[in-house]
Amino acid sequence: MKVNEKSEKVGLKFNIQKTKIMASSPITSWEIDGETVETVSDFIFLGSKITADGDCSHEIKRHLLLGRKVMTNLDSILKNRDITLPTKFCLVKAMVFLVVMCGFELDCEES
């Protein structure tokens, strides 16, 4: 296998117990040095759930819930009559929108 050969040339070794693969098309099995690598349909990468089918609805829901939580934490500030409306808008824009939109630089379309 090329991956194993190339990694060994630079002194890296696969830990089969920690190695998992995800493919966008069905595969029967994948082996390194005769050991089968576990195949998964989804995994968490840098805090985001990645799925084989590319569905990102769960990530959208998660970000909306996080934004709702931030909005709830800002409730007392937003109800305060001493704080001007433009200041409240800046707070929501800086805190809530940032949490909701974080990580959605790429298009997430269904095919």
Domain residue spans of the chain? 1-40, 53-111
Find the mean pLDDT for residues 84-94: 92
Which uninterrupted H or E stretch holds 49? Answer: strand 48-51
Contact 14, 4 (CB under 8 A): yes
List C-alpha distances in Å: 103 to 51, 70, 108: 16, 17, 11
Whole-structure pTM value = 0.55
Amino acid at 48: S
d(CA 95, CA 90): 8
d(CA 64, CA 111): 23
- What size, in residues, is the chain? 111
Amino acid at 26: P
What confidence score (pLDDT) does residue 104 get? 61
The mean pLDDT of the chain is: 82
Tens-digit pLDDT profile for residues 93-104: 988 888 888 766
How many CB atoms are closer than 10 A to CB 21? 12
